[in-house]
Structure 1
Amino acid sequence: MANGATNLKPQLEQQRGILKWIETVGNKLPHPFMLFVILCLALMVISAILSAMNLSVVHPGKGEAVAVKSLLSVEGIHWILTSMLKNFIEFPALGLVLAMTLGIGLAEKVGLLTSVLRKMMARVPKAIVSYAVVFVGVLGNLASDAAMVIIPPLGGLVFLAMGRHPIAGFAAGMAGVSSGFTANLFIAGTDALLSGISTEVARTIDPNAVVTPVDNWFFMSASVFFLAFAGGWITDKIIEPRLGTYQGDRNVQFDELTLQENKALRHAGIAALVFVVILALLVVPEGALLRDPKTGDFLTSPFLKGIIPIILLFFVTVSYVYGRAMGLMKTSKDMPHYMSEAIKDMSGFIVLAFTAAQFIAFFNWSNIGILMAVNGAEFMKSVGLTGLPVVIAFSLFTGICSLFITSGSALWAILAPVFMPMLMLLDYHPAFIQVAYRIADSATNTISPVNPYLPLILAFYQKYNKNAGMGTIFSTMMPYAIVFLVIWLIQMAIWYYAGLPVGPGVYPR
């Protein structure tokens, strides 16, 4: 055992050296605001060059020719000027982050989050807290993108309350939420969304083919435990040792709750229970108000589509009850006051979101992402791999594409029509092909330069480390992305060679 540990130490030191290099180089880049400005200008020039070369591809899903459009053309300049505000307003992360900040920020400002964490930390063994944060993060994708705004910051507060580095806790939560996005013990909206695309494409080969939302359930359920263990280990052994001892203010105190805090917490707990019971009555019974009015289905219900406002209402409700019991909610001015204070903390995110929104919109409008994905897929077909290696190669290629196309459904709509027929003809089940796609698309989320939550991630980092930059983020999250992908590929190989079902009655071949 001692020899194994001795042999492992130089490897870990080498990994930390590589990560330090990534951080150093990355942080030499301009401020993220200016970096996105530079990237926008570069993209304008690149789009003009590619457009002048008349490059185009046939969109596999639509069957239509898609040409690269120049951002420096008359059409492009008109689009830039008329769409700039729209790009910002419709930036996917903007409304979600600000709305969730109103609720979570209120809970933080009145002290509810601190009290809950102090109560929770009194019972959670320190040895497993990293694993618990990753585990909760992976399950958090049930709340879709809202989990990104909730769980990583809470992970940071949990670590801070335990005297550990808050960025390590944030990274653990983000790894679970983002790199582990597609795994879960429950069926989520992602399962329904991707299976619909898979079924449509699979029927081009087999008219009777069906991929249901539960067809990846066994594989993804097992993934939760593998990723939670790996993510906790990475946090404890690689990430936190690199960060060192946190030198900032420890504004979360790990003290016993006062009698008033305990009383307020009980009131908030009762309010939370009442809220959940009412919500269950609106969701669970057949024909309930928040079920799909046409089909009665849960996965397409207004409940899941409106999960963000529901979570916001939940936080506002319990925070108000807690604040009232603590004597902090005395007049009608108090709640908006605390919410305003919470929004002020997000000013840096709002500034970064403006330029990040333009870059992502430029990238999508120019069709450069589609060009890269389709040409790369055609190259993969021309290589002529067979057996499991072709599925692994498909996963790795997906990982590269997902760095530039962050919408999982949009990328699957591009890649599925190219790869699914090819792999189905090699006798792979379409649900297994979908697994190969999902694991790579998920693992690389945390290191994507076009991740719409990158400004939010940086804003949190700079809350605890004012010198943090893009390099800090990528060097911190790189181990999670690589290890998660490797673990998933190994798991996929085990399922393939052992002939294990990826879902009820569904096998790889």
Structure 2
Amino acid sequence: MPHGAAGMQPELQHQKGMLRWIETVGNKLPHPFMLFVYLCLIMMVISAILAGLDVSVTHPGKGETVPVKSLLSVEGIHWILTSMLKNFTDFPALGLVLTMALGIGLAEKVGLLTSVLRKLMTRVPKTIVSFTVVFVGVLGNLASDAAMVIIPPLGGLVFLAMGRHPIAGIAAGMAGVSSGFTANLFIAGTDALLSGISTEVARTIDPHAHVSPLDNWFFMSASVFLLSFIGAWITDKVIEPRLGEYQGEQQVRFEELSDRENKALRAAGIAALVFAAVTALLVVPEGALLRDPQTGGFLTSPFLKGIIPVILLFFVTVSAVYGKKMGLITSTRDIPRYMTEAVKDMSGFIVMAFTAAQFIAFFNWSNIGILLAVSGADFLKSIGMTGLPVVLGFTLFTAFASLFITSGSALWAMLAPVFMPMLMLLDYHPAFIQVAYRVADSATNTISPVNPYLPLILAYYQAYKKDAGMGTIFATMMPYALSFLLIWMVQMVVWFVLDLPVGPGVYPR
């Protein structure tokens, strides 16, 4: 064995031992439904204590004093009772997951997904499967949060079909979709949303400052390939070896498609092309129906804002055509019947989502999340770091803050007024400061305790491992989150030292 490999072995063993400990301890926690109940109770007590001490912070973006509000006050108890149903129905993941379950569930029940995977498995080399799943996951953020519903379970199916552990496939897909959320080869809605906030704040220092949606493109495009390689390596060398051989009951064997399946798949493909062509006509031409009626732009268009219904219609269209050709859909009654079966499979997620929604709402209403973000930012500013270390310190702090505030735009609206002026006065370009924020906000998504998709992630895991719990999720996703954050910080240092452009004509300083 080479000397370097021998040196790495104890380190890998130590990592596996640490992950095993995280999983063991995490899985000793109560059922997620009850866990969120207990967290709600703890949040109520903490909010009452902090409110009793008159703890407050000044919101850096609005300049307003934001006090911690007690959930045990008269106002708090009234709010809990009157908002409980709204908290549940407004839970970000609920509507999206159930809507996507209708379309993807129909595709699964009629066998379309299996046929597509069987076709793909004969074309994708086994050596690059992990890379492909992570890569597709990273690019999947073009479909916004819908990618979380689509890509991880498909990654699990692909791995299962290849005789590999399906949870490793789910983890690879999640790593790309969630921890790699901000990277892409294309300009996405995130670029437009964050650059607007950045421009507004940067102009408090430089009235002519402007951050465009293109200003992080070079950096983020390079990140796609870097994260895909790192994610694939972690999947193959860390995650799958510690999961061991899959011993579950579910098995998928991808045999050659029959003539009827090939014809049905071809018909579904034609339907997909027709759907794409019609959609393009509604989006691409200037002044098209689904363009932004105010600006005529694409990034703020009804098409992108309504991407979930568009994806639902796509799946319903191609699935109906496939099911019709296969003889599985003989009347319109068959479509809602298959959809009903698909939604039944999501019942466990719905139950967990109820208490998860309350906890996240409690956290936000009490203003404890804002308190953590602003207090930490003030501390980092007060210690007076300068140069590149302050940028890296800002990145690490953002990674911590994003564990508790999952809305990337909301967190940036809080942190930008504090850090943007400070770092601009140190001669950093606002677009580079935005990069430092984006990579940190993205990397820790998969290990955030207030991630609204946590119940869904657990449902994916439990499909293949009945006793999976929160500890299983955090132990599996921790290597991705920490590695993505570390490799992104190294990339930032390289970009800074070599003075490489983060976007067209935009440099770190």
Q: What's the TM-score, normalizing by structure 1?
A: 0.99
1:236 maps to which residue? Answer: 236
Cα distance in 2 for residues equivalent to 1:474 and 1:442:
16
Deviations 1:80-139 (A, max 9, x none): 000000000000000000000100010001000000000000111111000000000000
Write the mapping of 1:215-364 to structure 2, written as runs, cut at 5 A.
215-364=215-364
2:391 maps to which residue? Answer: 391
| Structure 2 counterpart SS, 1:207 | coil
Write the mapping of 1:2-13 to structure 2, written as runs, cut at 5 A.
2-13=2-13
Cα distance in 2 for residues equivalent to 1:8 and 1:340:
50
Cα distance in 1 for residues equivalent to 2:161 and 2:260:
20
Cα distance in 1 for residues equivalent to 2:249 and 2:131:
25
State the Cα distance separating 1:333 from its structure 2 match.
1.5
State whether structure 2 residue 426 is matched by structure 1 residue 423: no
Q: What is the one-letter code of the residue matched to 1:505?
A: G
Q: Structure 1: which 5+ residue stretches go unaligned?
A: none
State whether structure 2 residue 128 is matched by structure 1 residue 123: no
Cα distance in 2 for residues equivalent to 1:30 and 1:381:
39
Cα distance in 1 for residues equivalent to 2:116 and 2:4:
40
Cα distance in 1 for residues equivalent to 2:415 and 2:175:
25
2:438 maps to which residue? Answer: 438
| Structure 1 counterpart SS, 2:503 | coil
Deviations 1:371-401 (A, max 9, x none): 1111111100111111100000000000000
Cα distance in 2 for residues equivalent to 1:502 and 1:430:
11
Query: How many residues end up aligned between the 2 structures?
Result: 509
2:81 maps to which residue? Answer: 81
State the Cα distance separating 1:4 from its structure 2 match.
2.1
| Structure 1 counterpart SS, 2:316 | helix
1:132 maps to which residue? Answer: 132
Cα distance in 2 for residues equivalent to 1:476 and 1:265:
35
Deviations 1:311-334 (A, max 9, x none): 000000000000000000002221
Deviations 1:239-269 (A, max 9, x none): 0111111111344221111111111000000
| Structure 1 counterpart SS, 2:48 | helix
State whether structure 2 residue 28 is matched by structure 1 residue 28: yes
Deviations 1:128-154 (A, max 9, x none): 000000000000000110110011111
Deviations 1:13-45 (A, max 9, x none): 110000000000000111110000000000000
Cα distance in 2 for residues equivalent to 1:342 and 1:253:
22
State the Cα distance separating 1:478 from its structure 2 match.
0.2
1:460 maps to which residue? Answer: 460
Cα distance in 1 for residues equivalent to 2:252 and 2:214:
41
1:164 maps to which residue? Answer: 164
Cα distance in 2 for residues equivalent to 1:199 and 1:53:
37
* Ranges of 4+ aligned residues in structure 1 off by more than 3 Å: none
| Structure 1 counterpart SS, 2:508 | coil
State the Cα distance separating 1:7 from its structure 2 match.
1.9
Q: What is the one-letter code of the residue matched to 2:303?
A: F
1:107 maps to which residue? Answer: 107
Q: What is the one-letter code of the residue matched to 1:485?
A: L
Cα distance in 2 for residues equivalent to 1:164 and 1:254:
13
Deviations 1:399-446 (A, max 9, x none): 000000000000000100011010011010010000000000000000
Q: What is the one-letter code of the residue matched to 2:503?
A: G
Cα distance in 2 for residues equivalent to 1:353 and 1:22:
23
Cα distance in 1 for residues equivalent to 2:118 and 2:248:
19
Write the mapping of 1:30-45 to structure 2, written as runs, cut at 5 A.
30-45=30-45
Deviations 1:326-347 (A, max 9, x none): 0000022211111011001100
| Structure 1 counterpart SS, 2:256 | coil
Task: Say if 2:250 and 2:464, in contact at 8 Å, map to a contact too.
Answer: no
| Structure 1 counterpart SS, 2:248 | coil
Q: Structure 2: which 5+ residue stretches go unaligned?
A: none
Cα distance in 2 for residues equivalent to 1:476 and 1:234:
10
Q: What is the one-letter code of the residue matched to 2:217?
A: W
State the Cα distance separating 1:10 from its structure 2 match.
1.6
Cα distance in 1 for residues equivalent to 2:498 and 2:7:
32
Cα distance in 1 for residues equivalent to 2:248 and 2:467:
13
| Structure 1 counterpart SS, 2:213 | coil
| Structure 1 counterpart SS, 2:463 | helix
Cα distance in 1 for residues equivalent to 2:434 and 2:407:
15
Cα distance in 1 for residues equivalent to 2:427 and 2:379:
21
2:151 maps to which residue? Answer: 151
Cα distance in 1 for residues equivalent to 2:250 and 2:357:
34
State the Cα distance separating 1:188 from its structure 2 match.
0.2
Q: What is the one-letter code of the residue matched to 2:227?
A: L
Write the mapping of 1:374-385 to structure 2, written as runs, cut at 5 A.
374-385=374-385
Greater shift in the superposed pair: 331-340 or 65-74: 331-340
| Structure 2 counterpart SS, 1:464 | coil
| Structure 1 counterpart SS, 2:57 | strand
Q: What is the one-letter code of the residue matched to 2:221?
A: S
State whether structure 2 residue 509 is matched by structure 1 residue 488: no
State the Cα distance separating 1:271 from its structure 2 match.
0.3
Cα distance in 1 for residues equivalent to 2:354 and 2:465:
22
State the Cα distance separating 1:60 from its structure 2 match.
0.7
Cα distance in 1 for residues equivalent to 2:455 and 2:221:
31
| Structure 2 counterpart SS, 1:66 | strand
Cα distance in 1 for residues equivalent to 2:497 and 2:372:
32
Q: What's the TM-score, normalizing by structure 2?
A: 0.99
Deviations 1:65-93 (A, max 9, x none): 10000000000000000000000000000
1:187 maps to which residue? Answer: 187
State the Cα distance separating 1:8 from its structure 2 match.
1.6
Q: What is the one-letter code of the residue matched to 1:337?
A: R
| Structure 1 counterpart SS, 2:209 | coil
